[in-house]
Chains A and B, each alone.
Chain A
Amino acid sequence: MIKLIETEGNKFWRNRLSGSSIFQKFVFQYIKALKTYICPVEYEIKPHQKLNLGLKEIWQYREMLFFFTWRDIKVKYKQTVLGFAWAIIQPLLLMAIFSLAGAALNIPSESLPHPLFTYSALTLWMIFSTGLTSAGNSMLSNANIIRKIYFPRLIIPISSVLTSLFDFLMAFIILIGMLIFYHDRITFDLGKFLLLFPVSIIITVISTFGIGSLLAALTIKYRDFRYVTPYLVQILMFVTPVIYPISIFHFTGAKYILAINPMYSAVELFRSGFNGQMLEWKLVGISLFFAILFFIIGIYYFRKTEAYFADLA
């Protein structure tokens, strides 16, 4: 940490530099600005703070973010026999059920084997569902810290999303195994996969984070959302093409409505690397637009109300 109180050395340089060339003054100002950026020497507490993402502040509190995430991951699997294996077992069990149902009911799967079709979407879906559920509850479960310590509140939903991303990494290893196992039954396009896979992760993270922070801010004020969130997650799962492809709808209007779901584009982009299907760009575009819209609304509402979280928690 940089010393915050003016040190003797600082004074020395200021005295030396006053009256020297403009260039030197500029350099001094630049260093000073840089120091302020890294750690604010001076800050003001006012009734109304301005609205922005507050990335600078989150960066200052990155260690706390790290520790919150680390705590959540540690605590999640404490005192379990199987430990981190649960991150894999959960989507695998769902996959087993859904692919059995899919095979039995003869649901199309875009020429992919049923297990791969559902599991690929489920890995992404788990980021969204666990992230959303824990972000929604995060403000309440951390209420004792919010009431006693200041930190940028956005850290809490961010750490919820990071925790669910950690689970995804575990589950993703299995997905790679499945892609290798089924390699002769799928049309794997490495270029497309490497390009669209990160994009789909980013969309998932953005929508989880946006909707998650909105729910977090709403839950702290209206406790009704504690009951709304689980249902919302369940309903969203059935309108996301996890167990069925969107092509089973022949009516275009229905497709457009389903594309409002931000997770639609994430799942479609993720699968397009290996399902050999053409993307419906119009639908993906709609979904992407809503992902960004929900993100902006979520962050805006969160930042607008966060100052009073300590009074409400």
Chain B
Amino acid sequence: MMKPILEIKSISKKFLIHHNKQGQAYMSMRESITSVFKRNSSVSEEFYALKDVSFNVEPGECIGIIGKNGAGKSTLLKVLSRITPPTKGTIISRGRMASLLEVGTGFHPELTGRENVFLNGSILGMIRKEIQAKFDEIIDFSGTEKFLDTPLKFYSSGMQLRLAFSVAAFLEPEIMVIDEVLAVGDAEFQKKCIGKMEDVNKNGRTILFVSHDLNAVQNLCRTAILLKDGQISMAGESDAVINHYLHSGSVATNTWTQKADSNHPHFKNIHVNLEGTQPNLKLIIQSGIKCFPEMMPSFIAFDIFSKMGIPLGQAIPKLEPFIVPGNTEIILTTEIELNGFVPGDYYLDAWIGPHFSETYDWQKECIEFSIIDSPQINRTYPHPASHGFFVPPSKLL
């Protein structure tokens, strides 16, 4: 019996979130000096990106890692590829590992295509002789032989990407760790790359593959691991795991609660559930609303935004003001049909007011939900943002 090529033993990774620093990963010296004098000046919160994750990888296995955004997939890969250390736990690796968290890492715009192949290859862990031996194949695969001695800055972005992929495709480590790199690039080239990866796996190499493209995971990997909130929620045959993922009470549950108090009518809490399966997804919103005697009759509205902040639509369940004044708290249940929405992350705004031009309470981006499945059953091609956010139901007459 051979030993597993990778042993992951109860890995945890903790991050401290500083609330007063607006996404600043680094600190200035002033902050660190003043923080010595001011205790508890910054509110920091512990956040576990990974919690007690353990699994073994046998040589020659190809494991797909799936999960929602923020489930800890990328952190797991970063810990595995030694970029960032785990807070707890150990990993034992028994092979040369190459991590492909990005294609074209270290590409320099001033260097020529030829020079960049060597630089990138070496950064990815190939030795010079290896690159020399495979150089012609790499260039052939990328189809950029005409521009070999042109600086990279004059390449089109598609050409840069193809060159980057080609170097990566010829990596031959014992263990290969791949992040969502196939999400970019044209469909034909993607297919070529997946084919290449299959070859690599057939040669007995071990692959760990993170992707949102469930179809690619299903084709490539026999085993899959489902991560949820930094923990392994399921591991096993990839078909079973993917099935579980797609139908695990559908896709998102999210709750928002108002912490502050006000003397206007306002939302107390909002709870959202995605129900049904594609293409008949429904968003069920339960909202608690605090009413006041001196208010005007009001109505509610929900706005849906893409993750990039593009407004996609406004749902108004009832147009005439139906919330009557009174010192009461009411609970409303709203159903929004999400027919044809493509996979992705969305935000929800909740609004209450007596008239379109007057607002009592407007909770911006209070709820985030994600859709995993494509509305088109059996679609393998991902939904690029350039084709919009929903696939209108259509048929041939």
Contacts and interface: CB of A to CB of B under 8 A. Distances in A.
Interface of A: 1, 4-6, 39, 41-49, 63-64, 66-67, 70-71, 74-75, 78-79, 144-151, 220-224, 307-308, 310-313
A311 B87 CA distance: 13
A311 B151 CA distance: 31
24 contacts: A1-B127, A4-B95, A5-B2, A5-B95, A6-B2, A42-B92, A44-B91, A45-B80, A45-B86, A45-B91, A46-B85, A63-B122, A63-B128, A64-B123, A74-B111, A74-B115, A75-B108, A78-B151, A146-B83, A147-B83, A148-B83, A149-B101, A224-B29, A310-B78
Nearest to B88: A47
Contacts of B86: 45-47
Contacts of B36: none
Contacts of A45: 79-80, 82, 85-86, 90-93
Interface stretch (B20-28, B140-148, B216-224): B20-28
Given A44-B92, A63-B128, A79-B110, A308 B84 contact: yes
Given A44-B93, A66-B122, A312-B25, 18 more contacts: A1-B127, A4-B174, A5-B94, A44-B90, A45-B79, A45-B86, A63-B128, A67-B119, A74-B110, A74-B115, A75-B108, A75-B111, A78-B111, A145-B106, A148-B99, A150-B83, A223-B26, A224-B28
Interface in B213-231: none
Given A44-B91, A144-B106, A150-B99, A311 B127 contact: no
A307 B94 contact: no
Contact of A312 (B26, B79, B92, B95): B26
Contacts of A66: 122
Nearest to B93: A43
A150 B81 contact: yes
A222 B28 contact: yes
Nearest to A150: B82
Contacts of B5: 5
Given A6-B2, A45-B90, A67-B122, A39 B28 contact: no
B337 to A, nearest CB: 41
Interface of B: 2, 5, 15, 25-30, 32, 59, 78-96, 99, 101-102, 105-106, 108, 110-111, 115, 118-119, 122-124, 127-128, 151, 174
Contacts of B122: 63-64, 66-67
Given A79-B110, A222-B32, A148 B102 contact: yes
Contacts of B15: 311
Given A45-B85, A45-B91, A149 B123 contact: yes
A77 to B, nearest CB: 10
Closest 6 CB pairs of A and B: A150-B82, A45-B91, A67-B122, A222-B29, A224-B29, A78-B110
